[in-house]
Amino acid sequence: MGIVFVALYAGMATGFQSVRAARENLRATQILLEKFETLRLYNWDQITATGFVPTSFTNYFAPSQSSRGVTYVGSVTISPNMPITEAYSNDMRMVVITLSWTQGNRPLSRTFTNFVARYGLQNYIIP
């Protein structure tokens, strides 16, 4: 009987931990996409201006009255150095968004890299 209860408890604990890890990973993906989609709506002058786009941010997941929950710390890097040699490389910027958090005692991180063009989506948004 004791072996059955220990096995049942271990199985349930593993299941709950897997669900928690999946939720934290999903929230990390949502934060990365949110930051990049916000960046896409800036115009070219805002993206290339020094200091307009915040270079660091903090976000939380599942806060409660006693704790802030999972703390996600991120950074945004906009690089003018493109990994391409085409003539239009001066009209593009490489954006790297990095997000870090701790799951239990294990540090985790995700990175999202994409490009923003001078004549991108922001030119088609009607104010």
Which are the contacts of 31, defined by CB distance < 8 A and separation ≥ 6?
Answer: 59, 72, 74, 99
User: Measured between alpha carbons, how far is 9 from 65 in angstroms, rounded to an integer?
Assistant: 28
Among 3-17, 20-34, 57-71, the minimum mean pLDDT is found in: 57-71
User: Measured between alpha carbons, how far is 122 from 107 in angstroms, rounded to an integer?
Assistant: 35
Higher model confidence: residue 66 or residue 121? 66
User: Measured between alpha carbons, how far is 69 from 53 in angstroms, rounded to an integer?
Assistant: 26
Mean pLDDT, residues 71-86: 90
* pLDDT at residue 1, as a whole number: 87
User: Measured between alpha carbons, how far is 49 from 22 in angstroms, rounded to an integer?
Assistant: 37
21 Rama sector, left if φ>0, alpha if ψ -120 to 50, beta otherwise:
alpha
Average pLDDT, the chain: 87
69: domain range? Answer: 2-124
Higher model confidence: residue 123 or residue 113? 113
Q: What is the total count of domains within the chain?
A: 1
